[in-house]
A and B are shown apart, each in its own frame.
Chain A
């Protein structure tokens, strides 16, 4: 995949929330071949699934617990299953999907290890994107004595839905501990530019393709 094709701005301004979402979707879509069958954990109102369906004829289901998001999915014509990702996945058969996706939602789930294990049980490959808490700007905020608030972490500490705060280095350590193979990693700064040098410092958003070890 050409990274340039993902760069949606001139690089002068940080991506807007809308651009960031499209960016997120484009990276994920780039990793899934046409026509595959996927499961999107924490699918919100189903926008990613709709994007995947429209751009690559990808089928599948969203899993969501929030009532309004489920209603949003149904309005959007998305197949959504209202169950708790953290406890309700046992009904999904092993390897019944090509990909399990968590787009910008892993940090809002408690049972990180369980969820990652379930993703790789029900699907051949897991795709995870999350905000890197060790991004330079976040470190600066902490150094200045405050919890970070940035483009990719747009919440105050008292209203954030996030419950797990981790970095690229932390995530990779967990994958190693769980025997999860990292097939590919991409990191980007808030301008949507790909980061290769010290991504744990320079990357704001991280994307992973994961497989069973």
Chain B
């Protein structure tokens, strides 16, 4: 059940953090900026703020459209807006582009204020923990002591979980969708293939392609094509494309025969046209490194002991990249810590990407949970 209500025309804002930040991986940023957007109004008690965390290729542009820009709808516009499940008449919603991103926050394409040159490959490695720390500075700046909720899918869900660990007193609810306590070996393997595609592109130049006016398009394209396969389900791909031929007959060549080939090439080309390769590398590494149980010798129950927030965990039946079993690991660890947790396993044939769709039952679950959050 979703309404056609949009937050309307929105504009990105910038938050400038003028002090240095030390990063978990040992790196240091002399200063940083975060691009963010807000929807709705912060109430007088400052108790209605919700942070939306993005996944691998998302941005701060969560909802609404940009003036005079066609097709500029935010990536989670079906969820966020007046009367929508994440209701901007109730909540003050904040979207932020992660550190290391390529949509306006400080990242590899930014200029290093200390050298006066683009960071490029010299941009330090960032982790989910670093993202949450930087987001906490944005929260300070916005006057938000405590989030009513932090919500995210996939890598975004990991950030929501990390919030509850790093700042237990600053977050009341976590909505972790199609997420996991860490990546499986298979998931890391997919990320590594994607990275190798980029790293071995002759135009990559050790990450300093931008200063030469180059883009490692082939690598990015391959990375995205492979990633895209893993975000969909076998059934859905068969249903959508099957063995349909592009031109009606077989070509007996390496040109496009099948519709799925055409689709993947299109997705790859589109992505390589706007996304930064260094950011892609950073984001996949942040995914690989996320593992809150690591400091507790793999004991997720012990790792979750600091958590105070209540959780909604959801997964999708056909998601094999972040399978329901991984979400259940989160749920069981929360239950053993006697945290409030609700877990819904949604029937949806769209694989990992289901979290971005407006499946009616999925949205009803989110709506019901968010409606019950007291301000």
CB <8 Å contact, A74 and B312: yes
Least Cβ–Cβ distance between A4 and chain B, in angstroms: 36
CA A75 to CA B331, docked complex, whole Å: 19
Asked if B341 CB lies within 8 Å of chain A CBs, one says yes
Least Cβ–Cβ distance between B361 and chain A, in angstroms: 6
Residue in contact with B328 in the complex, picked from A59, A78, A83, CB distance below 8 Å: A83
Which residues of B are found within 8 Å of A80, using beta-carbon distances?
342-344
With A92-B332, A93-B336 already in contact, the answer to whether A81 and B368 are too (CB < 8 A) is no
B342, B346, B364: residue with the most chain A Cβ atoms closer than 10 Å: B342
Asked if B10 CB lies within 8 Å of chain A CBs, one says no
Which residues of A are found within 8 Å of B21, using beta-carbon distances?
none
CA A82 to CA B344, docked complex, whole Å: 5
CA A70 to CA B332, docked complex, whole Å: 17
CB <8 Å contact, B372 and A96: no
CA A67 to CA B314, docked complex, whole Å: 12
Residues 50-97 of A at the B interface (beta carbon under 8 Å) = 59, 61, 67, 70-71, 73-75, 77-83, 88, 91-93, 96
CA A93 to CA B336, docked complex, whole Å: 8
CB <8 Å contact, B336 and A73: no
Asked if A20 CB lies within 8 Å of chain B CBs, one says no
Asked if B73 CB lies within 8 Å of chain A CBs, one says no
Least Cβ–Cβ distance between B319 and chain A, in angstroms: 14
CB <8 Å contact, A91 and B347: no
Cβ proximity bits B75-106 to A, threshold 8 Å, 1 near / 0 not: 00000000000000000000000000000000
Asked if A209 CB lies within 8 Å of chain B CBs, one says no
Which residues of A are found within 8 Å of B329, using beta-carbon distances?
91
Asked if A212 CB lies within 8 Å of chain B CBs, one says no
With A91-B332, A92-B332, A93-B336 already in contact, the answer to whether A75 and B343 are too (CB < 8 A) is no
With A67-B361, A71-B365, A74-B369 already in contact, the answer to whether A79 and B342 are too (CB < 8 A) is yes
Least Cβ–Cβ distance between B187 and chain A, in angstroms: 20
Asked if B340 CB lies within 8 Å of chain A CBs, one says yes
CA A25 to CA B341, docked complex, whole Å: 23
Asked if A185 CB lies within 8 Å of chain B CBs, one says no
CB <8 Å contact, A61 and B335: yes
Asked if B345 CB lies within 8 Å of chain A CBs, one says yes
Asked if A47 CB lies within 8 Å of chain B CBs, one says no
Closest to A70 in B: B344
Closest to A75 in B: B368
CB <8 Å contact, B332 and A73: no
Asked if B338 CB lies within 8 Å of chain A CBs, one says yes
CB <8 Å contact, A81 and B335: yes
CA A67 to CA B328, docked complex, whole Å: 16
With A74-B368, A75-B368, A77-B372 already in contact, the answer to whether A37 and B338 are too (CB < 8 A) is yes
Which residues of A are found within 8 Å of B343, using beta-carbon distances?
80-83
Least Cβ–Cβ distance between B54 and chain A, in angstroms: 24
Residues 319-375 of B at the A interface (beta carbon under 8 Å) = 328-329, 331-332, 335-336, 338, 340-347, 361, 364-365, 368-369, 371-372
CA A82 to CA B340, docked complex, whole Å: 14
With A61-B335, A92-B332, A96-B336 already in contact, the answer to whether A79 and B341 are too (CB < 8 A) is yes
Q: List residues of chain B with CB under 8 Å of any chain A CB.
A: 312, 328-329, 331-332, 335-336, 338, 340-347, 361, 364-365, 368-369, 371-372
Q: List residues of chain A with CB under 8 Å of any chain B CB.
A: 37, 59, 61, 67, 70-71, 73-75, 77-83, 88, 91-93, 96
| A-B pairs, 8 with minimum CB distance | A91-B332, A74-B368, A75-B368, A81-B343, A82-B345, A82-B344, A77-B372, A74-B342
With A71-B368, A83-B345 known, 10 other A-B pairs at CB within 8 A are A73-B342, A74-B368, A74-B372, A75-B372, A77-B372, A79-B342, A81-B335, A81-B341, A83-B343, A92-B332
Question: Can you name 10 A-B residue pairings with CB atoms under 8 Å?
Answer: A61-B341, A67-B347, A67-B361, A75-B371, A75-B372, A77-B372, A81-B342, A83-B328, A91-B329, A92-B332
